Amino acid sequence: MYFFDNASTTRVYKECVDILDEYNLNKYYNPSALYGSAVEIKKDIEKSRMEISALIKAAKGNIIFTSSGSEADNLALFGLKKAKGSRIISSRAEHSAVFNSVNQLKNNGFEVVFAETNKDGRVNEDSLYSLVNDNTSLVSVMHVNSLTGAVNNIGQISKRVKELNNKTIFHTDAVQSYGKLPFRLDNSSVDLYSVSSHKIHAPKGCGFLYIANGVKVSPLIYGGGQEKGLRSSTENAGAICAFSYASQKFFKTDKVYIKNLLIKTAQTLQENIEDLKIITDINNCAPHILCVAFKNLKSEILLHLLEKHGIFVGTGSACNSLKGNLRFAEELKLGKEYENGILRISFSEFNNEDECTFLCDKICEEVYSLSKKLF
């Protein structure tokens, strides 16, 4: 198998599987129980919280564990206390967990406006700043675009938004940037920061929301008051501890190695496929996401042809519908000839140069075959 869809999910570290086994087979106590063994599990969760907090310098806030990045986004956007009818600013290039949520907030009576997007998927900063007014309660801009890998400078953007309106809360979906780009929360004005576990070789079913001190968030799930009263439900101790382990390991991995695989693949495809659009700005992108578009080809067909060779790639976020992918195509101003041809190739430390060579060979082979059938 040649797995190049690492932006959708990743192979779990073997050590994380061992941690899950330990907590599911031996340490399976409810962390809220009062006997000693259960109290130890609660301590393990708190230790994991502190370890993750230290990695991103989150001492000025709290980390609330969730079941996913999407839940963390929803808790941030719907849980944040904000004046009814106030302005919410985002972009149409956001992940569906944010884009669909802000549209629901619009239905709930908030004024939702969208900043323009640059051709590589970055938010247009001038457009964004022009939308901030005295009535703006929330700005949500993702750190790394989940389709193109474009990097938004959220440290700079969050600070500028606060200068324009210091009461505005700034949220970022950091699902595609966590551990992949250097970032410190204590050097930014980010108030809410969403992360998912399974993008960094940890198990699915875990994520977290960082909430800065003083930011008022109400729970979406009510019950026993776990996670500081903000996320009731018995904690997934094994997944949380595995997430912490994966975070510490992943933060130390060689991102230059992954970026070099991306660059080599982009160059090879560009040299061998006529009319190929490299959407990703190689000079300003996360190390793992390469987005390309083929002229007059349907990427979904190409995806299934590659699958026959044991190659797995994506056509966009796995959480997006086809309609969602067309939203991105329109926002990136690709034009009719390219809008159905978007392919996302995403890398991890488990890929190597030989795999990339095989990937490029088969893409070129299948694109050539499809083009011959069309013309």
Tell me which residues are annotated as active site.
Answer: 319
Q: What is the C-alpha to C-alpha distance for residues 321 and 342, in angstroms, rounded to an integer?
A: 13
Angle between helices 322-331 and 96-107 (to 10 degrees): 90
Coil vs helix vs strand at 224: coil
Q: How many CB atoms lie within 10 A of CB 126?
A: 9
Residue 137: both structure tokens together: 């309660």
Picking from 352, 348, 145, 96, the residue whose alpha carbon sits closest to that of residue 246 is 348
- Is the Cβ–Cβ distance between 227 and 235 less than 8 Å? yes
Q: How many CB atoms lie within 10 A of CB 61?
A: 20
- Is the Cβ–Cβ distance between 177 and 188 less than 8 Å? no
- Is the Cβ–Cβ distance between 105 and 88 less than 8 Å? yes
Rounded to 10 degrees, what is the CA torsion of 127, 133, 139, 142? 10
